[in-house]
C-alpha cells in the first residue's frame, strides 16, 4: 500500500513539474541552441541562449507544437529594428530560425553593389577587420568584418565574403504585418532575401527575443560529453554574453 502511494505521489510531482516547465517555456523564457553559422560572428554554432517569450506578446507559436488556441497575438509589443529574434519560418510554420530584424512593415530593402539600403538610404558600415576566418557550414571562409549602424542607431557586427557574392537585388517591399530578416553572416544565410524558402515573416510567427548566451561549446573539438576536452571546447568567454 505504501509503495503504491509513493508511486502515485511521484507521478503527481513529475506531472506538476512538467506543467510548470511548460508554463515557463511558453510564457517567460526558453533555451535555444544555435545549429548553423548564419549569425556569425555574433552567434556561433554551439551557443546556447535564452529567448524571452513575453517580449513581443504571444501567439500560437509561443507554445509547444503551435496549438491553435487563439488567432493573432495577445499582449502584443512591436519589435525594434536590429533585434535578434527567433521565429517560425513561413515555409512550414514549424522550424525555428534566428536572424536579425532589418525591415519593418512598409520598408523598402535593397542591396546595391553589396551595400544594404533601407528606404533608399544606405546602411552605414565601417570595416573593422580585413582578415577574419568564420564558418559557413563546415567550411571556413575569409571575410571582411564591418560594424553596421541601422537607422535607429542599433550597432552590430556583420561579415561579407571578400568577393561580395550577394551584390545586387530587386527591391523588397515589406508587406503589412510582416518583417524582413537577415543573417549577420551575409553571404552564408538563408533569410528573407530568399522568398520561396523564408521571405517575409508574419508578426504571428515571432517566437521571442534573443537575450544572452548562457553556455557555449565548440563541437568541432568535441561533444559536451567529452569532458577530457572541456578545457578546449567550452567557450568560457561567451558565458552570460548579452546579444546585441
Which residues does the annotation mark as catalytic? Answer: 38, 99
DSSP string, 124-150: EEEEEEEEEEEEETTEEEEEEEEEEE-
Radius of gyration of the chain, Cα coordinates, nearest whole angstrom: 20
User: What is the C-alpha separation between 50 and 215, in angstroms, rounded?
Assistant: 10
Per the CB < 8 A criterion, the answer to whether 145 and 127 are in contact is yes
In which region does residue 211 sit, left (phi positive, over 0), alpha (psi from -120 to 50) or beta (all else)?
alpha
Measuring CA to CA, which residue among 207, 240, 229, 222 is closest to residue 51? 207
Amino acid at each position: 500500500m505504501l509503495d503504491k502511494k509513493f508511486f502515485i505521489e511521484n507521478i503527481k510531482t513529475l506531472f506538476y513539474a512538467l506543467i510548470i516547465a511548460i508554463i515557463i517555456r511558453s510564457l517567460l523564457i526558453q533555451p535555444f541552441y544555435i545549429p548553423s553559422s548564419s549569425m556569425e560572428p555574433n552567434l556561433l554554432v554551439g551557443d546556447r541562449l535564452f529567448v524571452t517569450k513575453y517580449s513581443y506578446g504571444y501567439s500560437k507559436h509561443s507554445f509547444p507544437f503551435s496549438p491553435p488556441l487563439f488567432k493573432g497575438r495577445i499582449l502584443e509589443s512591436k519589435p525594434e529594428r536590429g533585434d535578434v529574434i527567433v521565429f517560425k519560418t513561413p515555409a512550414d510554420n514549424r522550424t525555428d530560425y534566428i536572424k536579425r530584424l532589418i525591415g519593418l512593415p512598409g520598408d523598402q530593402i535593397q542591396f546595391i553593389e553589396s551595400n544594404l539600403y533601407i528606404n533608399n538610404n544606405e546602411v552605414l558600415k565601417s570595416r573593422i577587420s580585413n582578415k577574419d576566418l568564420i564558418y559557413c557550414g563546415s567550411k571556413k571562409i575569409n571575410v571582411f568584418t564591418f560594424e553596421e549602424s541601422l537607422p535607429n542607431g542599433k550597432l552590430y557586427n556583420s561579415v561579407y565574403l571578400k568577393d561580395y557574392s550577394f551584390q545586387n537585388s530587386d527591391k523588397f517591399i515589406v508587406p503589412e504585418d510582416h518583417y524582413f530578416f537577415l543573417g549577420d553572416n551575409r553571404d552564408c544565410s538563408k533569410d528573407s532575401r530568399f522568398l520561396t524558402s523564408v521571405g517575409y515573416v508574419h508578426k504571428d510567427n515571432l517566437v521571442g527575443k534573443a537575450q544572452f548566451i548562457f553556455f557555449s561549446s565548440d563541437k568541432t573539438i568535441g561533444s559536451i560529453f567529452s569532458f577530457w576536452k572541456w578545457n578546449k571546447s567550452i567557450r568560457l568567454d561567451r558565458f552570460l554574453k548579452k546579444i546585441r
